[in-house]
A and B are shown apart, each in its own frame.
Chain A
């Protein structure tokens, strides 16, 4: 169990090998990883574990679940990297895999139901001008960015998940709708409302 887990968590490379890999461009590393080269897989882990973990941490509710999901993503990567066809940049592809993993995890927690359930309240057709505080300012400090992150992490799941998929994984509304099994309009409404809620909470916090 541990061996498997550790392999997924970060293959232990000898220093020389790590340095040799560090110099390689992403394309060659991915190419080598496709032929199941353990060092190359390790290098991919080294380069992207943080980002994958970050996504999992945003989408899932605990550090432990995020760690588990990250492990799974890199375990799955060994099996599925052959299916990567280069049509989109590798990091985006990897984040998509990670997003799927997290959504699966969320779905499993909901016992197979959809992660986000559509509520018939006309959300898709909000057109009235918002009375909420104006959009966030252009330049904000590091501290404020941490506050934004923290507030996003505390948003309800139906707001948090689409927001993170859009602005971290950079998926389109269609892709998000497909992943979450929702109508595109509903996704648009959720993202819009998520931002409004975020603004409201941030304004409330800074008071």
Chain B
């Protein structure tokens, strides 16, 4: 009898041959050694296939949780990193020790003055470059955001998936928040002006080389330009991003500003909040509430009815402050005419940086403290605060692990993708503020921008937790993947990061690296988690 083909034998071994055919094959096998050998071999092959498959790939060891971190950083990477850190430290030490003349201090990026200068110029050039187009640009961004919201909503309605419910809710909230933006008047041009006899009833978004308000704006004024001047009245808030902001008229609300200089010699109903290179409240200027600013130079000659909080490299007070004056930074001078209705507290590097003229009046206590960099290791309070911070971070880590176990563990693991996380993190760290500014140009984008900001800050804080947990894990190499292992790893990692953080110069760079790594891992994991899921 003729022998059976291999395929027929394979069918038989798989139990898929028809009953009578199978019986004939069995009969044949009793007489044919060749076919018997083939069938035995095929049977063995099936067993091997089945056994091999059932052993499962290594990555299936713990699908949901936490397999061993993939530490893709080789020694070469670590050497490059160490070299970068070392060179960075040397450069920062050198820059710090350079004796820069006071007049040039503003160009030193490591001084407060230099930093605020850098930021204000950055924003000024950003605003100026696009000044002419800004309002059109705002309209385009606004419409695009709106279309994206509507399109996204339609897309989510039409599909099923993990993101559907929360995604739709978020879109509805954003749409609701964005609707008031239609009550916005936009003006742009080289010279934007609200004439003395003119009244604008809406919020005014103005962009131009010079924005001048001589009449009345009943809503808020959002102004972008080289020079923003308020000579008339703004009944709402003034939000300005300009090289020079001057208020000689009246602003009844608050002033929020990001300007190179802000001069107030008019009336302000509420407070000033901002980041400026130079803030001057003229002797005719009056602030109805308080001032909270970070600024290179501050000169207060007029009246501030409530408290003043300034973070400045050079502060001069010759006017009157109704309540407390709190200052931190370089130097503070109170002239004979200065008057502080509450307490004075100043944090400076040296006692001689605070000059209080004999004629100055301070109603409350004087509290001048010298920040000495070196001595905090000797104070028990320092260790107490560090312990509190560590405990806080552990608590946050624990909460995160309880609330979002998969996400936290996966993010921790993603830290191990090394350069990719680091690169992504640098991009996110630098890119998000730009995205926030772009989004905030339109009112539609402001809530998005604020939410983004909140997430950004939270992620910067959480970065050390993910990196710490990862570091602890590669050091402890726990065999399991329990919560306790993760938290123990976090404790060890955070301790190490905290200690490294205190090494002068190097610590700062390491902290920066940790933030970038953690942000990168977070962004990567967010991307992975948000990809559409297959449903049945």
Contacts and interface: CB of A to CB of B under 8 A. Distances in A.
B10 to A, nearest CB: 6
Contact of A101 (B62, B163, B407, B534): B534
A93 interface: no
B44 A138 contact: yes
Contacts of A129: 5-6
B239 to A, nearest CB: 34
A57 B59 contact: yes
Interface in B169-201: none
B154 to A, nearest CB: 20
A188 B49 contact: no
A195 B7 contact: no
B406 A9 contact: yes
A172 B405 CA distance: 39
B379 interface: no
A138 B47 contact: yes
A152 interface: yes
A69 B534 contact: yes
B535 to A, nearest CB: 6
Given A9-B406, A50-B61, A53-B60, A188 B53 contact: no
A149 B55 contact: yes
A130 interface: yes
Interface string A84-127: 00000000000000001100110010000000000000000011
A72 B533 CA distance: 8
Contacts of A167: 46, 49-50, 53
Contacts of A57: 56-57, 59-60
B19 interface: no
Which among A52, A54, A126 has the highest number of chain B CB atoms within 10 Å?
A: A54
A178 to B, nearest CB: 14
Contacts of B101: none
B372 interface: no
B57 A148 contact: no
A58 interface: yes
Which among B15, B55, B57 has the highest number of chain A CB atoms within 10 Å?
A: B57
A25 interface: no
B528 interface: yes
A105 B529 contact: no
Q: Main secondary structure on chain B at its contact with chain A?
A: helix
A10 B483 CA distance: 13
B169 to A, nearest CB: 11
B380 interface: no
B57 A168 contact: no
Contact of A145 (B51, B402, B528, B535): B51
Interface in A8-33: 9-10, 12
B64 interface: yes
Which among B41, B42, B51, B534 has the highest number of chain A CB atoms within 10 Å?
A: B534
A188 B8 CA distance: 10
Contacts of A189: 7
Contacts of A35: none
A184 to B, nearest CB: 8
Interface in A30-54: 45, 49-54
A135 interface: yes
Nearest to A97: B536
Interface in B518-536: 528-529, 531, 533-536
Contacts of A192: 6-7, 10
B53 A149 contact: yes
A49 B64 contact: yes
B47 A145 contact: no
Contact of B42 (A54, A135, A153, A166): A135
Contacts of B42: 135
A1 B162 contact: yes
A92 to B, nearest CB: 13
Contact of B406 (A6, A128, A130): A6
B6 to A, nearest CB: 5
Contact of B166 (A1, A12, A134, A140): A1
Nearest to A52: B63
B61 A168 contact: no
Interface string B28-51: 000000000010011011111111
A195 B41 CA distance: 13
Given A5-B162, A10-B65, A149-B57, A126 B7 contact: yes
B76 to A, nearest CB: 26
A26 B264 CA distance: 78
B113 to A, nearest CB: 45
Contacts of A188: 7, 11, 16
Nearest to B407: A2
Interface string A146-164: 1011001100000000011
Given A49-B64, A71-B533, A129-B5, A1 B50 contact: no
A96 B162 CA distance: 23
A135 B45 contact: yes
B367 interface: no
B403 interface: yes
Contacts of A197: none
Given A72-B533, A134-B41, A53 B48 contact: no
Contacts of B406: 2, 5-6, 9-10
Closest 7 A/B residue pairs (Cβ): A53-B63, A138-B44, A135-B45, A54-B56, A9-B64, A148-B52, A135-B41
28 contacts: A2-B406, A2-B407, A5-B529, A6-B404, A9-B65, A9-B406, A53-B63, A54-B60, A57-B60, A64-B528, A64-B531, A68-B534, A70-B63, A101-B536, A104-B536, A134-B41, A135-B44, A137-B44, A138-B41, A145-B55, A146-B55, A148-B49, A152-B49, A167-B46, A170-B50, A173-B16, A189-B7, A195-B49
Given A136-B44, A137-B48, A195-B49, 7 more contacts: A5-B529, A127-B7, A136-B49, A152-B53, A167-B53, A168-B50, A192-B7
